[in-house]
Amino acid sequence: MSKRVKLIVAYDGTNYCGWQMQDNGITVEQVLNEELTRLLGEEIKIIGASRTDSGVHALGNVAVFDTETRIPPDKISFALNQRLPDDIRITNSCEVADDFHPRYCDTIKTYEYNIWNNKFPNPIVRLYSKFVYYHLDMEKMEKAAAYLVGKHDFIAFSSPRTQVENTVRTVTEISFRKEGNMITMRIKGDGFLYNMVRIIMGTLLKCGMGMYEPEYVKEILESKDRKKAAPKAEACGLTLVGIEYL
């Protein structure tokens, strides 16, 4: 009898062209499909909750697949991890209802973006943070971020490739913490448009550098004009921390 299995997936996105299957390079989805197919002896096509971009990392992406295997769902993670490359790991596997779909449920997604703010880059964290040598005024960044919290049309903070009709999203939190030279932005919401978090980060960095006043973020939001916002920040600083199903 077929059953639906949910995976919690962690990965270093450095060597992958994102999550979603594509022709121009290897993706996380491709690796999981291939290794699950070999493990279970049946063709597997997983469905992912978040289609992270090339170079973006994850600690808690979610995926599901249907299988007729007799392997207990909670043991699939252990068996699959024996086959996966070192930069992809399944941190949990369990059976879920047959109608559970990771993208069509109410969720809260949490992302973090890391900035190494120092005069010189740090080679140890270069794959997991953006290097910024300008002084950053965190108070200005926090003030600017406050304009983005709430329910808004975020089309000005999305790339033109956004293929959704509804560009309204609810951001429930944007916060910052500083540990040494590392500044981390945490952003939570019910969903994010294509490149939305990276464009928000790029824009808030401009505020921190003094290039934009915090109030300009409100103007960008109300304009619905992508050209008014800053370029997107590099993918390497972004991590999908987790997805909470409500």
* Predicted confidence (pLDDT) per residue in 189-202, tens digit: 999 999 999 999 99
- pLDDT score at 213: 97
pLDDT, mean of residues 178-199: 97
The residues spanned by each domain of the chain are 3-96, 107-245
237 pLDDT above the threshold of 80:
yes
- pLDDT score at 185: 98
Q: Is residue 106 flagged as an active site residue?
A: no
Residue 160: pLDDT band by 50, 70, 90 thresholds? Answer: confident
Backbone angles phi, psi at 219, to 5 degrees: -65, -40
Pick the catalytic residue from 53, 87, 98, 225.
53
Q: What is d(CA 227, CA 157) in angstroms, rounded to the nearest whole number?
A: 9
CB distance 47 to 56 below 8 Å: no
Q: Percent of the chain beyond pLDDT 70? A: 100
| Higher pLDDT among residues 160 and 129, named by residue | 129
Backbone angles phi, psi at 169, to 5 degrees: -135, 160
pLDDT, mean of residues 217-224: 98
Strands 3-11 and 57-67: antiparallel
DSSP output for the chain = --EEEEEEEEE-GGGSS-SS--TTS--HHHHHHHHHHHHHTS----EES--PPTT-EEEEEEEEEEE---S-HHHHHHHHHTTS-TTEEEEEEEEE-TT--TTSS-EEEEEEEEEEESSS--TTTTTSSEEE-S---HHHHHHHHHTTSEEEE-GGGS-TT---S--EEEEEEEEEEEETTEEEEEEEES---TTHHHHHHHHHHHHHTTSS-THHHHHHHHHT-GGGSPPPPPGGGEEEEEEEE-
Domains 3-96 and 107-245 share a fold: yes
Task: Tell me the CATH number of domain 3-96, given options 3.40.720.10, 3.40.50.300, 3.30.70.580, 3.40.50.10490.
Answer: 3.30.70.580
78 pLDDT above the threshold of 80:
yes
pLDDT, mean of residues 162-179: 92
145 pLDDT above the threshold of 80:
yes
Sign, Cα dihedral of 128, 131, 137, 140: negative
Helix axes of 28-40 and 73-81: crossing angle, nearest 10 degrees: 110
- pLDDT score at 162: 66
Residue 24: pLDDT band by 50, 70, 90 thresholds? Answer: confident
pLDDT, mean of residues 73-78: 98
Task: Tell me the CATH number of domain 107-245, given options 3.40.50.300, 3.40.50.2000, 3.30.70.660, 3.40.920.10.
Answer: 3.30.70.660
CB distance 224 to 155 below 8 Å: yes
175 pLDDT above the threshold of 80:
yes
**Ramachandran sector of residue 157 (left: φ over 0; alpha: ψ -120 to 50; beta: rest):** alpha
129 pLDDT above the threshold of 90:
yes
Q: What is d(CA 84, CA 107) in angstroms, rounded to the nearest whole number?
A: 28
- pLDDT score at 52: 95
163 pLDDT above the threshold of 80:
no
- pLDDT score at 154: 97
- pLDDT score at 164: 83
| Higher pLDDT among residues 163 and 75, named by residue | 75
pLDDT, mean of residues 105-117: 97
